[in-house]
Structure 1
C-alpha cells in the first residue's frame, strides 16, 4: 500500500515494491511467509487497522506442490467476497484399495473445489494487501531476536542484511520454518508426499471432470490421489506415506500412475515435500512470536490436509498478534500468547487428536475403512459431510457409536 507522495520501485516483472522509507520504523505485526497461513494472518491484523508487513522469499504467483483441494472449512475461513479460482467442482469420489475393489460414490451437492495453488495463494496475498498489509518479496529470513527495554520489540533479520522491527511476529514460513525452529516447534509425525502435474488431452481431462480418485496404498498409512484441473487440462497425481521409505513411496507413485493409464503422458512438474505434524505439547509461541499453519505443524494427521488448518490458524494468529502488539508488559504478552494457544488447541487441536486416532486405525486396517466408505451409507455420508464442512472427524467419533467401534476394532 503506497501514498501518492511515496517513492516506488519496480521488480523485473513490473510489480510495485515499497521504497526503503516505507519499511522504516516499528511495525505492529510482521508476518513471515505469504502462503495461506501468512496471508490470512496479515489480512486479519491489517483489517483491524494495524501497520502490517508481509514478507516472503518468493515472488507471487509461484508454483506450490499441493493437490489444491478446498474443503468446507477452507471456504468458510476465506476473507469476505473472496473469489475462489476453481478449476473443478468435485461431486464424485472413486475409491480403490491398492488398485483393486474400485467403487465410485456420488453426491448431489459439491464435496469440495479444486484450485491451482499459485492462483489461490496469489489472491490471498492480494486480499491481505487490499486490507492494508505491505508485501515485500525476495526476503529470506535468517534470524529472530526479541529485545527488551521500554518498547519490547522483535527484530526479524534477512539473509541480505535487512532487518524489520515489530511489536509482534507471526511465523508462517512453511514446514521447514525458521521461525518454528526459533519457537521450538516439535513434531511427532513426518510424512513424504510425492506429486506430479500431468497435462492430458482435453478428452482425458473431461473424463475426470467433477471426480477425484483416492487409493488406499500398500504402505502403512499411505494413500494416493488424482485431483483434476479441468480448466487447465491437467491432473495432479500424488501419493503420501510415512517418511523413511522413500524408494517404496516412489515405486507406489509409479505403480499408481501406471494403473491409472497415465504413464504415457509426460509430467510438467514432479516434486516432493515433507509434511510435519506437531506433537501435542509443542509450543505455539515464544514471547512476542507466534507460529501458524505448517510452521506450527498444524495439519490433519490422517489425510494430511493443511489448507484449512493454515487459513484458520493464520486468522487466529493475526488476531492475537494484534493483542500481543498492544500488550504493555511481559505478563500481558504471556497471557495473550496463552489465549492464542488455547484457541488453537480448543479447535484444531481437538480435530488433530481425532485425526491421529483415525490414522492409527487406518494404518492397521485400511480394508475396513475402504469397505465402510464404499458399502456403508452412513460412513459415506460422514465422509461427504466432513469434506463439505458440516462436521469433523472429532464430531463423527463423538456422535456415532459405529464410527468409534470401527476405529477401536481397526486399532487392535
Structure 2
C-alpha cells in the first residue's frame, strides 16, 4: 500500500515550513474510513488515510453485501463476491427449519480482507494517501501539540503527530476518536465467529444458501454464510452472556455437522449501537461507522452503515477542512449530524423496535418468515436494497399498525414483570 506517494492536493504548511497540514486525516482503513477518504479526495481535498494494521488484515464479519452496501460502493468497483445468495434457511434454535428461495439474487458474500483492501485501493485511486502500520493514540484540538485553531493534531503511537484541518474517526467499535468525541452507546452485543474450511462436497451443499437460526437467548441469532471452500459460522447476542453465547455457537456447529472440521480462525468482537442523543462530532472531528455506533440494531448489519456514513463523513469533512472559523466548522459538522440522523438514524430507530419485538416473540417472527409470504417478500426487498425497514413501516399501513401493536404488547409485558426497561 502506498505511503505518502499518492497524487492529490498538497495541503498547507505553517510559516516555519516544518509541518504539512492535511485537509483531512481519516483514522481507520475499513469500509467507513476508506469511503470517507475517497469522498474527501473526490471533493478535491488532500487526504491522509491511517490504518494501524498491514493490509490485507482479517476482520470478524459475516461479509454479507446487501443492496444498500452495493449501492454505496465506488462507481465501477469490482466486488469480490465469494458466493451469491438465492436461498435462506430459517430455523428456530435448530427446529422448524424451512428454506425460502428466490429466482433473483438476494445478496452477495465477500471475504472482508479482500473487500476492505479493494476499498482502500479505490480511495488511493481517488487521490488519498495511505499509510498502513500506523496506530493512532489520540487527537488534540487544543494545547501545545496544536499550532492554531484551524488545526487538529493526530498523535501517533510513536509520539509523532500528523496535522489536519479536519479528522474523521473510523477506527472501529473500540475507537479512540469516538472517546474524544464522547460517543455514547445504548446497546452492546457479543459476536462469536469461526471461519471453517470444508471439503468440496460440503461446500456444494451450502452454495448459494445461507442459514439464519433464531437463537435461544433473547435477541440472539446464528448464521452460516458460504464462501467457496469455507463457511463462516457465527452467533450474536447481548453482552454479558458470554458463556451462553459460546455454548450456542458450539451447539449450532455440532447440530449442522460442522464440529469435525477445524476452524482456520475463531474470533469474537463487540458491536455497539449509539444512543439517539450521542454526539457524532466535536469541533473539527467527525466519527462514522462502528466508531460512531452506527449499525442496524436488530441484525447488527454494519457494512452498509459504514459505507454510507463514511461517504457522508468524507463529504462534510471536506467542508469542515475549509471552514474559516469555529462557527463555520461547527455549522458544517452539524449538517453532517443532521444527514446521519435523518437517514441512518431513522433506520436504526425502526431496527430497535424490531429487536424488541424479536427478543419477546422469536416464534412469531419465525412463523412469519416461513409461512407468511409478505414477510418473506419484504425480507427479499430489504436485502436487495429496493426498500428499508424504515421504508416498509413508513409506506405500508399494515406493517406500521402491526409493529405498533407489538410495541404495546411488549410494553405491557414489561410492566407486568415490573421491568423498569
User: Same-fold call, TM > 0.5?
Assistant: yes
**1:218 aligns to what SS in structure 2?**
coil
In the aligned structure 1, how far is the partner of 2:268 from the partner of 2:147?
44
Residue 110 of structure 1: aligned partner: 105
Contact 1:44 1:319 in 2 (8 A): yes
Aligned residue for 1:18, secondary structure, equals coil
Does the Cα contact within 8 Å between 1:362 and 1:410 map onto a contact in 2? no
- Show the counterpart of 2:196: 198
**Structure 2 unaligned residues grouped into runs of 5+:** 12-18, 410-421
Q: Is the 8 A contact 2:183 2:274 kept in 1?
A: yes
Q: Give, in angstroms, the shift of residue 199 of structure 1.
A: 0.4
1:135-284 correspondence runs (5 A): 135-147=130-142, 152-230=150-228, 233-284=229-280
Out of 71, 78, 84, the residue aligned to residue 73 of structure 2 is 78
SS in 2 for 1:152: coil
Secondary structure at the aligned position of 2:3 is classed as: strand
The CA deviation at 1:48 is 1.7
How far 1:373 sits from its partner (Å)? 1.1
Structure 1 residue 307 corresponds to structure 2 residue 274: no
Q: CA deviation at 1:161?
A: 1.2
Q: Is the 8 A contact 2:2 2:131 kept in 1?
A: no
Alignment partner of 2:351 out of 344, 350, 355: 355
Match of 1:89 in 2: 84
Indicate the residue corresponding to 1:340 in structure 2. 336
CA distance in 2, matches of 1:98, 1:396: 27
Q: Equivalent residue of 2:247, what SS?
A: helix
Question: Which of 361, 366, 376 matches 2:372?
Answer: 376
Shift of 1:398: 2.0
Asked if the contact 2:192–2:234 (Cα under 8 Å) also holds between the matched residues in 1, the reply is yes
2:400 corresponds to which residue?
404
1:367-390 deviations in Å (ceiling 9; x for gaps):
111111111111100000000001
TM-score (norm. length: structure 1): 0.93
Q: Match for residue 3 of structure 2?
A: 17
Q: Secondary structure at the match of 1:166?
A: strand
Deviation at 1:397, TM superposition (A): 1.6
Structure 1: stretches of 5+ with no match in the other structure = 1-14
Matched, 1:318 2:314: yes
- Please report the TM-score for the alignment, with normalisation by the length of structure 2: 0.91
Corresponding pairs, count: 394
Cα deviation per residue 1:126-182 (whole Å; 9 max; x = unaligned)? 000011111111111112111477651100001111210000000000000000000
Any conservation in 1 of the 2:25–2:48 contact (CA below 8 Å)?
Answer: yes
The answer to whether the 8 Å contact 1:368/1:410 transfers is no
The residue that corresponds to 1:328 in the other structure is 324
What's 1:391 paired with? Answer: 387
In structure 2, the CA distance between the partners of 1:16 and 1:45, relative to structure 1 (3 Å rule), is closer
Structure 1 residue 108 displacement after superposition: 1.1
Counterparts in 2 of 1:184 and 1:318: CA distance versus 1, 3 Å: same
**Relative to 1, partners in 2 of residues 1:149 and 1:139: Cα closer, same or farther, differing over 3 Å?**
closer
- Given that 1:373 and 1:380 are in contact with CA atoms closer than 8 Å, whether structure 2 keeps it comes out as yes
Once residues 85 and 341 of structure 2 are traced to their aligned partners in structure 1, the CA distance between those partners, rounded to angstroms, is 30
CA–CA distance in 1 between the matches of 2:148 and 2:48?
Answer: 22
**Inter-partner Cα distance in structure 2 for 1:377 and 1:399:** 18
- For each residue in 1:323-355, what CA deviation from the matched residue of structure 2 results, as whole angstroms up to 9, or x when unmatched? 000111111111101100000001000000000
- Of 126, 136, 147, 1:131 maps to 126
Distance 1:226 1:134 in 2: 37
> What CA deviation, in whole Å up to 9, does each residue of 1:44-76 have, x standing for no partner?
011122110000100110111000000000000
